[in-house]
Amino acid sequence: MTGRSPSGFPVEFDVLGVSVGAAVVSGALSVVAPPLDALTGALTVLALAGWLVLLRRAPAPWRRTEIGRPALALAAVALGAVLFLGSPGVVPEYRGMVLGLSLVPLWAVGRRIPRESP
């Protein structure tokens, strides 16, 4: 989202970066406050939506050639979601932290997506 600051300069708001950062923090805090698991899940959905918007706005040649990194990032989030939703091998206290940390590869790929001018 782009807006104007009071000084007149454009200000950008990175939905992906903010939601991933907040999900990592809330996931880490969910170890001591388990109700924050729900917030981590909601921030994960927001991060995925922001990432898909960035991916859709990427130039078509980049989307055709770069398929490996986005696929690996989505696989990491999918693994985190599976562990979050009920894998018996993960200790329940750490499932929010696992989900939050699984978003970091998605953020790293999202930062490298080239942006077309509107």
Question: 6-63, pLDDT tens digit by residue?
Answer: 666 565 678 899 999 999 999 999 999 989 999 999 999 999 999 988 888 878 777 7
Residue 105 confidence (pLDDT) above 90: yes
Domain assignment present for 118: no
Q: How many domains, in total, are found in the chain? A: 1
Residue 3 confidence (pLDDT) above 60: no
Q: Residue 34 is encoded by which pair of tokens?
A: 């388990």
Q: Which domain holds residue 107?
A: 2-112
Q: Where are the alpha helices (DSSP H) in the chain?
A: 15-29, 36-57, 60-65, 68-86, 95-101, 104-112
Residue type (1 letter), 86: G
**pLDDT for residue 60:** 77
Domain assignment present for 67: yes
